Structure 1
């Protein structure tokens, strides 16, 4: 033992010296920041549009620019985390995210803000899979895994709850720029926590160089797809402009698949990973849920402010029940995770959320808060909370350690790609339903259609869970599961 008063030599922190609790805290803070950014921006959209001169559909690019960069580069971010180390990539992403937020807050025109959102997406594409891979590696099995994913999903929801409230207050009383600036101190704080709270891991994979070409093909192809869909307000689906844009997008995405099969570099994603039905089913489910949820926040934010005439601060308060309901659903998912398989929770969660969205689809120009907002918010949010932890656990279970970052990146990518494509498609459908009118009655018709289509997407997610994910086998006895993972929660469901 060291004598009292004797100085101990300073040692670098290793994985053995950093407690799992500290790692969980860092991952939770990172997820809180990413979730807060999404909800803050949604509440501020009308003021951003007015302040910088965005058009009706151009405003969707404040969301889509971030989602496309995030979703398109997440696989590359996951691969980088596996190759270069999760802590290193996490800290790089946090620094980039913070700097882009600072630049976006000073934007003077739509192009500058969209560019900042793209860089934010690039930073998020690095930090999100690295953080999730840290979580899956730190809590590989057992009850601790269920609790860890419960904390992760509850923090995700808490970021949304805090974001809609603070975003509304900041937008109304300090200006929309502060909803972008708020990320700067959060990113700095997360960097400080990660420096001390994340072990300096050794890369799990050291193959060839990452497939940057594949990442560029995927991102460009997806961007052109969204661009082609959004532009259908000016060019019909059958017009040469739309057909050509979507055809080029299809060629680029096909080239991406070919490159992944034949590249001499480290593939962005091993296509054989999709042979795991858990991975394939969870990502298809996640894409549909992402498409529905992103569109719902967008439509409800505009409905509250442009149809019901609520200010940003009031809109933030009106969103609060939804965000808190997600927290409640996430906590409930942890408790139910010891009794039911993730597949069961995914089916129940998506069905409940679809019911809430169908109720949202009944909004009216003279709607009341209790019937048009509060009621459907509670139903949809609890259902969504039930989905969050189980879909992550399902999509990352049974994956080899060397592919943990890739699997995490794939899951985040499916959510963001779904969000971007869903908002482009449903936003265009809503815009066409309004006929270009800005009258509250016309806007209400468009938003109601978008929300109803979101319910249809969630119904499709239920079908994915029913048909692609296999039911778990019979549960072992309590004695046999002492110290083991809860049935279906962390195991490789449906492989």
Structure 2
């Protein structure tokens, strides 16, 4: 007699029906995160073509990127909490739909305003997708080894997305049109809709009432949006201008109100401050803030070094990113077994050290640099370190969080990475520009060789500062809890 058949079925968690095809769930989450990260970088190499086709001026062109970043940063927390309350699968599908439709509209844009609004729509869709991918993984893979493996692959997709975006953008712009940088998301969106609808089981916090803290949601979204706006436009209007100071001041005040609202006023806060009682969550979010600053700024300055200093084409620039992309994938995926055995702390420490070493080496490259001798080694080391950081922070940020708050923890992690990227890039661009202007004072502005040297010296300074920031972040990572036996 089959004794297994006679055993009563184990009750399922009311908030989560376990999926029959976890492999497809993992593939959907990894592909979704890859598309989100990729879309944040793929437009970079297309900007000159976009400017020419839609008559952007030099100041307004940056909004092709900023229009995506601002709603993405501002809505991540709200979207993460909504996933916990209203259903992770439902929000996942909604985000994919918004992102895909916005991509179609962007690809059909006939004016600069049209494209900017479409990019903002993409940012909204990405903000819904990003926390959904991580919260679905967290609630699907609960066994430590499976969880570590899943997070490793998710981290590889997230870490390599930026570099793949530059490569894909260069190929698409050179062989097709900048419009296909956006239109390529349509078939990807259709595939993702099918994968999520087929494999992802609905889950939410069964104990929570379906209510949102409206005041909290508005204050954190507007506060983050104003801060990102102030940072993005600081170079254009001047950091001491009334516009920028007002935006930054209002953003800070709104975030202070948000914290008061969460602690004292909200009946059902979207970000219960009790989540920060977990030392693992607090350390992970601090590390990911500085790691995000290093990732986006390094991609930006490598691209500038390759194109403006060394004269690479868009396609050649994309190809130059392949080693970095592969190294990030290997670093993120290869450490999954280590995370399961040792916890996140050693992974974070090694990742920070490797990334800092790579940037120190990269700072030695100047206008005479050769790719194989001067750029290949440091970008590979940086990529491995970045992959370790992405996987380590994802594990640390969600490991000690109850299932009912997985969407919140995911949204919080993505928010800190996005804010770190915006803040870090703005500061490091100012550092690089200051050094470049200093180097140009004693040379002829028309001298192309002197200008290349001045630009390269600015990028070198930015790499050095970023390496120092990552080295200092090691002190934060040391506070991460050790692995439990």
TM tier, shorter chain?
0.7 to 0.9
TM-aligned CA distance change 1:110 to 1:422, over 3 Å: farther
Q: Does 1:258 align with 2:260?
A: yes
Q: Select which of 272, 293, 302 maps to 1:270.
A: 272
Q: 1:314 maps to what in 2?
A: 316
Q: Does 1:113 align with 2:115?
A: yes
Q: 1:456 maps to what in 2?
A: 468
Distance 1:171 1:463 in 2: 42
Q: 2:197 maps to what in 1?
A: 195
Contact 1:44 1:168 in 2 (8 A): yes
Listed one character per residue, the Cα deviations across residues 139-177 of structure 1 (whole Å, up to 9, x for unaligned) are 113211111112212233454454333221101121222
Distance 1:277 1:59 in 2: 41
**Shift of the alpha carbon at 1:264?**
3.9
TM-aligned CA distance change 1:15 to 1:338, over 3 Å: closer
RMSD: 2.4
Unaligned runs of 5+ in 2: 1-15
Alignment of 1:240-389 (within 5 A): 240-389=242-391
Q: 1:484 maps to what in 2?
A: none
Alignment of 1:18-33 (within 5 A): 18-33=20-35
Distance 1:446 1:395 in 2: 35
Contact 2:73 2:224 in 1 (8 A): no
Partner-residue secondary structure (3-state), 2:342: coil
TM-aligned CA distance change 1:52 to 1:289, over 3 Å: farther
Distance 1:363 1:27 in 2: 37
Tell me whether 287-296 or 236-245 shows the greater mean CA deviation. 236-245
TM-aligned CA distance change 1:65 to 1:462, over 3 Å: farther
Contact 2:327 2:383 in 1 (8 A): yes
Q: 1:471 maps to what in 2?
A: 482
**Shift of the alpha carbon at 1:353?**
0.5
Partner-residue secondary structure (3-state), 2:42: helix
Q: 2:416 maps to what in 1?
A: 414
Tell me whether 380-389 or 332-341 shows the greater mean CA deviation. 332-341
TM-aligned CA distance change 1:109 to 1:367, over 3 Å: farther
Partner-residue secondary structure (3-state), 2:285: helix
Q: Does 1:441 align with 2:416?
A: no
Listed one character per residue, the Cα deviations across residues 192-249 of structure 1 (whole Å, up to 9, x for unaligned) are 1111111133543532521233233223222322333344435554454443332222
Q: Select which of 210, 228, 244 maps to 2:230.
A: 228
**Shift of the alpha carbon at 1:386?**
1.4
Between the two proteins, the alignment pairs up a number of residues equal to 460
Distance 1:192 1:389 in 2: 27
Listed one character per residue, the Cα deviations across residues 283-334 of structure 1 (whole Å, up to 9, x for unaligned) are 0100110011111111211221122111111111001110000011123212
TM-aligned CA distance change 1:166 to 1:17, over 3 Å: closer
Q: Does 1:402 align with 2:404?
A: yes
**Shift of the alpha carbon at 1:119?**
1.4
Unaligned runs of 5+ in 1: 1-13, 476-495
Q: Select which of 63, 66, 90 maps to 1:64.
A: 66
Distance 2:124 2:40 in 1: 15
Q: Does 1:34 align with 2:45?
A: no
Distance 1:128 1:447 in 2: 30
Listed one character per residue, the Cα deviations across residues 2-30 of structure 1 (whole Å, up to 9, x for unaligned) are xxxxxxxxxxxx93562222221221221
Alignment of 1:81-230 (within 5 A): 81-160=83-162, 162-207=164-209, 209-230=211-232
TM-aligned CA distance change 1:194 to 1:308, over 3 Å: same
Distance 1:219 1:190 in 2: 27
Partner-residue secondary structure (3-state), 1:337: helix
Contact 1:356 1:380 in 2 (8 A): yes
TM-aligned CA distance change 1:223 to 1:434, over 3 Å: farther
Listed one character per residue, the Cα deviations across residues 399-435 of structure 1 (whole Å, up to 9, x for unaligned) are 1111111111111111111112222222233334433
Contact 2:223 2:250 in 1 (8 A): yes
Tell me whether 364-373 or 303-312 shows the greater mean CA deviation. 364-373
TM-aligned CA distance change 1:432 to 1:215, over 3 Å: farther
**Shift of the alpha carbon at 1:450?**
2.7
Q: 2:13 maps to what in 1?
A: none
Q: 2:45 maps to what in 1?
A: 43
What TM-score, normalized by structure 1, do the two folds share?
0.86
Contact 1:291 1:457 in 2 (8 A): no
**Shift of the alpha carbon at 1:339?**
4.3
Tell me whether 139-148 or 284-293 shows the greater mean CA deviation. 139-148
Contact 2:83 2:204 in 1 (8 A): no
Listed one character per residue, the Cα deviations across residues 232-283 of structure 1 (whole Å, up to 9, x for unaligned) are 4355544544433322222122122122223445312001111111111100
TM-aligned CA distance change 1:325 to 1:93, over 3 Å: same
